[in-house]
Structure 1
Amino acid sequence: MSTESKTTGWISPIFARFPMLRKALKNSGWIFGCGVLSNITAFVASVMAARYLDVTEIGAIGYAASIVAMLRIFVSLGIDEVACREISQEPDSSPQVITSSMAIRLTAAAITIPAIVAFALFMTPQAIEGRAYILVIMSLGLFGVPFSSASIHYASHLRSAVPQRINATLAILYMAMVAIGVQQRLSTGYFVSLIAAQQALGGLIVYWIYRSNEITDARWSLVRKTAKSLLHDSWPQTLSGFGILIQAYSDQIMLGEMKGLDSVAQYSVALKMTTVMTFAPLAILASFLPSLSRRFKSDQNSFWIGFHQANRLASILCVAIVTIVYFIGAKLVLLTFGDQYSGAAVLLSVMSMRIFLTCLGIIRGSFLVNANILQYSMLTVLIGTVLNILLNLKFIPSHAEFGAVYASLISFLVTTVIVDLLFSKTRQAMLIAMRGWAFPFLNYENQVFRI
């Protein structure tokens, strides 16, 4: 008997007994594979642009990208997790949920995008004075957000291969176009336009495929009802998301205003490296979140077991990644981006601690959505946001980029962990999560190395 036959004979009964496991692993494979390709190509493109453009121009792009990223939540409106929960629990509701999400977001985009353009043209921030066109162009990429609602359908049905392949293809094209721009010595506006085009096309193409291949007929009476329900459940998530984005991106905006665009460039390069390294655990965890939603509705004990397992897995992955960053992260920055980003090389080792908090926050968010205590989430984020701004004001003048990192780490720790331990409705979840992170070799019943 061949090795392959033995392996198949051993694995097949497991997949036959747990079909959702097989589907989740396949979904994870697509997310991970396409995500790796997308991240590698995007990273290579960013390296080419960083080596070609002036450091100040890179800082201006990072500054504008931070503003757009923060305001993106007012187009997406935090609907994704709530919509995914609804479809995971009621698969037949997909046409109503997707159509409702898109209608809500189209309305929001019609307000948000012109507001950003008006802000860029008439109230130009001092840090990008003379470069307001960068903010205008990047805001146009938000046009794809309403159409990306179709991705919720594929994510909730564990069919993420569709949007992931589209994103990977666009990432490859983006890298090729950046290479052409570098070779032809094109202007900064060209590179900014590529960023906006990639973001817009991603949503448009996913929606076109969804309309072509899926059942999309929705009753408008149900759409209106669903839209009201989504807005009712997601508004705390919208405000929470905005607060989280302020925590994540206000550092670069405040750095630009207080220390200049060169500091923003160093910070954004270190953040880019951290984001690339955070992808692997997030891609793996993403496929288990719909399963947690189903478990929460059907069997609470099963949910807690899955919740604990997700935190155990995240702990192992994050420790491995941060260890690699500690030993070779600085060398990787200098090797790829060049000596002009030596500040980012030093900054990376500290910023990599965000990987732990990001992964913990994703799993924690799954519990908050399923337990429908999103108003509490909004409160915790508000606390973290105010704290982050105050800490930035304190640390950036004396510690520059490092001060911004210290502020974000402390504020995320308070938002994600400390406040949850103080609140009775979330204390159990956080204690289970912390046990998974601290003792990944123990399962939910405290058995060693047992799944």
Structure 2
Amino acid sequence: MEIIKKISKLKDSQGAMKYLKNTSWLLGEKILRMTVGLFIGIWVARYLGPEQFGLFSYAQSFVVLFSAFATLGLDGIVIRKLVKDESQRDKLLGTAFTLKLIGAFLVLALLVIAVFLQPSDLLANSLFFIIASATVFQSFNVIDFYFQSQVLSKYVVYSNVFSLLLSSIIKVTLIVNEAPLIAFAYVILFDSFVLASGFIYFYVLKRLSIRHWCFDKAVAKSLLKESWPLILSGLVVSMYMKIDQVMIKEMLGSVEVGQYSAAVRLSEAWYFIPMVISSSLFPAILNAKKISKELYYSRIQQLYDLMAWMAIAIAIPMTFLSDWLVHLLYGAQYNEAGGVLMIHIWSAVFVFLGVASGKWFVAEGLQIYSFYRTLAGAILNVGLNLVLIPQYGIYGAAIATLASQLVASYLFNVVNKKSRITFILQSKALLLPFRKIAFKY
């Protein structure tokens, strides 16, 4: 009876239903993306084989190392400002778009320097620049920020689903026609173009116009002043999320990158869950802060509880089924990926908590501390990779990732007094079955 009353109360709350519908749209799209994308990705991996798939994954990882300059850490900040004052929409979106576009060209310039300093073969260089060119079209993701701030993510979902299905059809066509590796890189670029076109279409459909966007120098300074710690944090996140594949390529070779990447894709396929839920509930958390401190921290605790135990529920079965799952999906040629998956999947527990706590850092204006903890994890990851990869191969890289996520997303929060409350809330989430007394905020 109590559960029925709570459900009835939730239905009567228009605000709660609005956020629930928004989350449902995002979650549905991401589940579809995970299912279709994973299936097509596995097909591509089987078609290319460990060596070519390893080179393709290496190129994507190499580009990601510079991608923070394209995103500029503006996502949460722009959404927060739009929630606070929608009347500044055109200035905010126009300024954020211009900054992201500049960042995209900066990525391409940095790649030129990186290739010059560490020459690669012609195929690898071509893959780098084709994949990196997609960041130009990703500047239109600022429209996504607007839809998130208005809890209208269904339009983002429409765009993502269309681009996903179209790119999937193209990839299948390429496989059937035995296309070369470089063709798959062009699909990434085309996918970004289609997605940007979808965002623009639905923005105009809402009787809004990108022609009204304008660049404001004062707004740009304000955004960059808040986002620079997140830019640095993004760079460091990119480093410790993808540096392992770059280091494996340099230390072991493309085949090993292919084996490792196959496992990582199965492990990271779940990472959309905390991103969707946290992004969708972020406006609700910000609104709760305006009402009361108790409600604010109550919602954050509920978010952490959900994140921790969803990740654990995923990690346990994946641990026992890893070898069987890899063999079923990728085939015998990826025989080392199962052991990597068994280790790497437990990083999800701390990734889920880390994504959720990242929203708290933005809400509190503590982006610099988010950067510090990420930097600590990245340094640890690189150091452990240098030690463990020569000794344990790709399994050592998986151990390094797990340890760095544990430190960056959880343990480091206890170091600083301002972030210690997050460590307490995360600990309470991990100890949920044993929690008996309420926490005093």
TM-score, scaled to structure 2: 0.93
Whether 1:25 and 2:15 are equivalent positions in the alignment is no
Shift of residue 220, structure 1, vs aligned partner? 4.5
Q: Residues 305 and 444 of structure 1 are in contact (CA less than 8 Å); yes or no, is this contact kept in structure 2?
A: no
Whether 1:231 and 2:224 are equivalent positions in the alignment is yes
Give the unaligned 5+ runs of structure 2.
none
2:10 corresponds in structure 1 to 14
Q: Which moved more, 1:28-37 or 1:413-422?
A: 413-422
Structure 1 counterpart of 2:412, which letter? Answer: V
Whether 1:314 and 2:307 are equivalent positions in the alignment is yes
1:98 corresponds in structure 2 to 93
2:280 corresponds in structure 1 to 287
- 1:417-436 equivalences under 5 Å are 417-436=410-429
Provide the C-alpha distance between the structure 2 equivalents of 1:140 and 1:398, rounded to a whole number of angstroms: 37
Q: Residues 315 and 440 of structure 1 are in contact (CA less than 8 Å); yes or no, is this contact kept in structure 2?
A: no
Q: Residues 89 and 294 of structure 1 are in contact (CA less than 8 Å); yes or no, is this contact kept in structure 2?
A: no
Structure 2 counterpart of 1:312, which letter? Answer: D
Q: Which moved more, 1:427-436 or 1:250-259?
A: 427-436
Q: Residues 273 and 348 of structure 1 are in contact (CA less than 8 Å); yes or no, is this contact kept in structure 2?
A: yes
Q: Residues 278 and 359 of structure 2 are in contact (CA less than 8 Å); yes or no, is this contact kept in structure 1?
A: no
Residue number among 247, 264, 273 corresponding to 1:271 in the alignment: 264
Residue number among 330, 335, 341 corresponding to 2:328 in the alignment: 335
1:46 corresponds in structure 2 to 41
* Cα deviation digits, residues 329-363 of structure 1 (max 9, x gap): 32122111111111111210100011111110111
Provide the C-alpha distance between the structure 2 equivalents of 1:82 and 1:61, rounded to a whole number of angstroms: 33
Provide the C-alpha distance between the structure 1 equivalents of 2:267 and 2:255, rounded to a whole number of angstroms: 19
Provide the C-alpha distance between the structure 1 equivalents of 2:6 and 2:234, rounded to a whole number of angstroms: 44
Q: Residues 82 and 369 of structure 1 are in contact (CA less than 8 Å); yes or no, is this contact kept in structure 2?
A: yes
Q: Residues 274 and 355 of structure 2 are in contact (CA less than 8 Å); yes or no, is this contact kept in structure 1?
A: no
TM-score, scaled to structure 1: 0.91
Q: Which moved more, 1:319-328 or 1:148-157?
A: 319-328
Q: Residues 130 and 186 of structure 2 are in contact (CA less than 8 Å); yes or no, is this contact kept in structure 1?
A: yes
- 1:78-97 equivalences under 5 Å are 78-97=73-92
Q: Residues 79 and 101 of structure 1 are in contact (CA less than 8 Å); yes or no, is this contact kept in structure 2?
A: yes
Whether 1:240 and 2:233 are equivalent positions in the alignment is yes
Shift of residue 130, structure 1, vs aligned partner? 4.6
Structure 2 counterpart of 1:164, which letter? Answer: V
Shift of residue 11, structure 1, vs aligned partner? 4.3
Provide the C-alpha distance between the structure 1 equivalents of 2:425 and 2:317, rounded to a whole number of angstroms: 27
* Cα deviation digits, residues 27-52 of structure 1 (max 9, x gap): 11111111111121111211121111
Give the unaligned 5+ runs of structure 1.
1-6
1:158 corresponds in structure 2 to 151
Shift of residue 123, structure 1, vs aligned partner? 4.2
User: In the superposition, relative to structure 1, how do residues 99 and 443 fare at CA in structure 2: closer, same or farther (>3 Å)?
Assistant: farther
Provide the C-alpha distance between the structure 2 equivalents of 1:24 and 1:267, rounded to a whole number of angstroms: 37
2:110 corresponds in structure 1 to 115
Provide the C-alpha distance between the structure 1 equivalents of 2:278 and 2:433, rounded to a whole number of angstroms: 15
Shift of residue 238, structure 1, vs aligned partner? 0.6
Q: Which moved more, 1:231-240 or 1:296-305?
A: 296-305
Provide the C-alpha distance between the structure 2 equivalents of 1:75 and 1:156, rounded to a whole number of angstroms: 21
Structure 1 counterpart of 2:179, which letter? Answer: L
User: In the superposition, relative to structure 1, how do residues 399 and 180 fare at CA in structure 2: closer, same or farther (>3 Å)?
Assistant: same
Provide the C-alpha distance between the structure 1 equivalents of 2:204 and 2:58, rounded to a whole number of angstroms: 36
1:347 corresponds in structure 2 to 340
SS at match of 1:445: coil
1:176 corresponds in structure 2 to 169
Provide the C-alpha distance between the structure 2 equivalents of 1:443 and 1:153, rounded to a whole number of angstroms: 41
Structure 2 counterpart of 1:166, which letter? Answer: S
Residue number among 291, 295, 318 corresponding to 1:298 in the alignment: 291
Structure 2 counterpart of 1:198, which letter? Answer: D
Whether 1:36 and 2:63 are equivalent positions in the alignment is no
Provide the C-alpha distance between the structure 2 equivalents of 1:296 and 1:429, rounded to a whole number of angstroms: 15
Residue number among 193, 218, 233 corresponding to 2:186 in the alignment: 193
Q: Residues 316 and 440 of structure 1 are in contact (CA less than 8 Å); yes or no, is this contact kept in structure 2?
A: no
Structure 1 counterpart of 2:254, which letter? Answer: L
Provide the C-alpha distance between the structure 2 equivalents of 1:444 and 1:61, rounded to a whole number of angstroms: 51
2:378 corresponds in structure 1 to 385
How many residues in Structure 1 have an aligned counterpart in Structure 2? 437
- 1:343-422 equivalences under 5 Å are 343-422=336-415
Percent of paired sites with the same residue:
24
User: In the superposition, relative to structure 1, how do residues 91 and 97 fare at CA in structure 2: closer, same or farther (>3 Å)?
Assistant: same
User: In the superposition, relative to structure 1, how do residues 231 and 322 fare at CA in structure 2: closer, same or farther (>3 Å)?
Assistant: same
User: In the superposition, relative to structure 1, how do residues 220 and 326 fare at CA in structure 2: closer, same or farther (>3 Å)?
Assistant: closer
